[in-house]
Amino acid sequence: MSPIVTIGNLCIGLSIGLCLFGILSFIGARKSGSETAASLGRGSLYGNFILMTVANLAMIYALLSNDFGVSYVSHVGSLETPRWISAISLWSSLEGSILFWGWILATYTASCLYLYKDRKEGLLLWAGLVFLVIELFFFILLALPANPFLPVQPTPANGPGPNPLLQNHWLMAIHPPCLYLGYIGFTVPFAFAVATLLEGPSGGWRGSGARPRATGEHGWAEPEPGPPATWTLLTRPWLLFAWSFQTIAIVLGGWWSYAVLGWGGYWAWDPVENASFMPWLAGTALVHSVMVQEKRKMLPVWNLMLAILTFLLTLLGTFLTRSGVLDSVHSFTESHIGPYFLVFIGIVLSASLALLLWKSQNLRQPGQFESFLSLEFLFLFNNLLFLSFCFVVFLGTWYPLLVEAIRGTRISVGEPYFNQMTVPIVLLITLLMSLGLVTPWKRGNFKNILSASRFPLFLSLGITLILLIVGIRNWAILLLVLLASLALDIMIIEVLRISWKRAEGNILKFIPAKLSLLNDNPRRYGGFIAHIGALILIVAVAISSIYDQEKEITLKPDETTEVGGYQLTLKEIRGDEVPQRFEIKAVVNVSRDGKSLETLTPQMNFYPTSREPIGSPAIRSTLIEDLYLTLNNFEKDGSQATLKVIITPAVIWIWIGGGITMLGGLLAMVCGRKREL
């Protein structure tokens, strides 16, 4: 038997034992106030991090060394697979992805408890206990239905290699880790939300921004009247970190789909895509509404509910992608972990609802709405819009599954449903971005709001008028551009105005003054950057969805045709043998107005383990539009090839907008963390 099998199972078994020991230690610490018991609980989390690190490194070693005596390697490894693809095969299939999930979860929880090790709030004991319960669930999955370290006898000489779709693009090296960092990061707000409900108004709640107060005889904080804002302060950096990575993971997933699947699109409302989008929507609502709690002492129960909902949606998403209930290019194969997830989701849902009903009466805070024309009311409206969006996606995703489960009939909910239901919501969210920038807390003045937005509105109307003049007549695009440019103009004008004032009219001090804004008010100006990215992304999605053009062409070698102003010349069709596959390539010279621009090579990849060839499109991206070529068919004698040509405007701005949004979230987290904690 492979020594990796022994090492892996030993790590998983010890992790389960440490979870049970840690849970008892934290319960003991909460009852007795023993610092030793609390240290043992924290030690369990650190121990799990070490064990999961060893288990993951052992699996990577097994993959790189082609140790086919390990069950997971025998399923996804092969002698022909390039080394870097073998390494990232860790997350290419069910068991490995759960193992990787366990390591990231252990890293998050150990890091969180370590950073807060000097704090004495009872809240941290409960949070540590919740972390361990969640870890216990995933480690049980690893020990039973998703064990990647099962022995294989007799040991096969070779394996099938990972899914061919996962070998076609380098994005598979970073998209899943980003997705896991987002998904699993939402565990931290959930754990502290549940801890807040368990702890109640005594032992650790304090006002926003206060330092740790004097402790009682047991070393943990004594009851103190005041608003329960501690959990939002402690978890805000983790929430922003998770939300930022979930944002970029969704964008990278769209990019991968665009660059690999060959259909020319990046989002199809696929159930697995929706599974990652729903927690992001709920998490976005939470990112906004915690500000209301901290600024106006309002919405404490609402925020706890959002933290719980976001975590539940991550569990549901994991269930969707790994239970085998879906037939999708993104999902994993059928497995036995579905019932485990359903039981765990049921426990989390029931326990969370019971806690909310039991404890929510103790969480009332003094703040209240004073006017509909206030920032807190706009935030609440924003929350309702994001949750409505989430419900629309949830309904469209789960309804076909429910119909199939009840009636045995397969139906699908297509793009028209999602587009018609979500476009009005997106327009309203974009409008709120503008209004929120010029509306104050507590009570606004209509005249002042109108005055602050008058000049930006003129600019936005001018931009919209230009679009009308150049021939754009789609009302949704025009309205979206009007609203998005209004928000953008307001933000840019504010930054320029304040920076100029700080620089005292000195042009040399202008850039440093602008940078200092982020450090002085990271939430506001980090938020500005994130919103700018989101606006770019929204507008780019709208334009690319409506103004794309598609054509299928068949060419012989040295034959030229024109599509969308591009001259496409097929130079040759050739075949190349590489270690893990055979490639058929169509070499196409692209020119415009007689000037050669680039040579594109769309191809088909033939894998020994795949019945159908896997297409690999070739893309020429510019800031204006993408030229997208897919090889659909070819003659074996190289006499002709059939290509699909798609020209789509503004696609690159989707990736740029997603990157800017992520950057804004991370800047708000990094710049604001030291001062706010």
Residue from 606, 586, 584, 574 nearest 167 by CA: 606
Q: Is the dihedral of CA 406, 412, 417, 422 positive or negative?
A: positive
Quick one: what percent of the chain has pLDDT higher than 70? 91
Task: Name the pTM for this structure.
Answer: 0.90
| Number of DSSP helices (H) and strands (E) in the chain, helices first | 19, 10
Render pLDDT for 445-484 as a digit per residue (tens, 0 to 9): 888 888 888 888 999 999 999 988 888 888 888 999 999 9
| Helix/strand/coil (H/E/C) assignment for every residue in 191-219 | HHHHHHHHHCCCCCCCCCCCCCCCECCCC
Higher pLDDT, 324 or 222: 324
Q: What is the DSSP letter of 613?
A: P
Reported residue count of the chain is 677
In the DSSP assignment, the letter for residue 153 is S
Categorize the per-residue pLDDT at 325 as very low, low, confident or very high, splitting at 50, 70 and 90: low
Q: Alpha helices, DSSP H only, in 77-224?
A: 83-88, 94-115, 122-143, 175-185, 187-199
Burial (CB < 10 A; 0-12, 13-18, 19+), residue 207, is middle
Extract the tokens encoding 98.
């759960």
Which H or E run includes 232? Answer: helix 230-260
Instruction: With a cut of 70, say whether residue 335 has pLDDT above it.
Output: no
For residue 216, what pLDDT is reported? 44
Lowest mean pLDDT among 135-149, 215-229, 349-363: 215-229
Q: Of 261, 92, 72, which is closest to residue 162 (Cα–Cα)? A: 92
Sequence-distant (≥ 6) Cβ neighbours of residue 339 within 8 angstroms? none
- The H or E element that residue 287 is part of is helix 271-296
Sign of the Cα pseudo-torsion (416, 417, 419, 420, in order)? positive
Check pLDDT > 70 for residue 218: no
Helix 375-407 vs helix 415-438: crossing angle, to nearest 10: 170
Q: In the chain, pLDDT over 90 holds for what percent of residues? A: 53
How far is residue 189's CA from residue 205's CA, in Å, rounded to a whole number?
16
* Burial classification of residue 38, based on how many CB atoms lie within 10 Å of its CB (0-12 exposed, 13-18 middle, 19 or more buried): buried
Mean pLDDT of 257-283: 90
Lowest average pLDDT, out of 326-330, 411-415, 462-466, 496-500, goes to: 326-330
Tens of pLDDT, residues 592-648: 988 999 999 999 989 887 778 888 899 999 999 999 999 999 998 888 999 999 999
Give the mean pLDDT of 211-234: 52
Averaged pLDDT for residues 207-234: 50
First to last CA, the chain: 50
Angstrom distance (rounded) from CA 518 to CA 532 = 14
In the predicted structure, residue 668 carries a pLDDT above the cut 90:
no
Looking from the CA of 147 toward its CB, the CA atoms found within 13 Å total 19
**Among 185, 14, 180, which Cα is nearest to 97's?**
180
* Residues 6+ positions from 644 with CB-CB distance below 8 Å: 262, 264, 550, 551, 552, 629, 630, 632
Give the span between the Cα atoms of 323 and 272, in whole angstroms: 12
The pLDDT, as a whole number, for residue 514 is 67
| Cα 45 from Cα 270, distance rounded (Å) | 36
CB atoms within 10 A of CB 660: 20
pLDDT confidence of residue 221: 43
> What is the spatial distance between Cα 55 and Cα 61, in angstroms, rounded to a whole number?
10
Q: What is the per-residue pLDDT across 23-66, written as a single tens digit (0 to 9) for each? A: 999 999 988 888 899 999 999 999 999 999 999 999 999 999 99
Record the tokens describing residue 365, joined without a space.
């805070």
Instruction: Output the pLDDT for position 373.
Output: 85
Sorted by sequence, the CB contacts under 8 Å of residue 222 that are 6+ apart come out as 202, 203, 213, 214, 215, 216
Q: Which of 406-415, 478-487, 561-570 has the lowest mean pLDDT?
A: 406-415
Cβ proximity of 71 and 95 under 8 Å: yes
Please determine, for residue 227, whether its predicted confidence score (pLDDT) is greater than 70: no
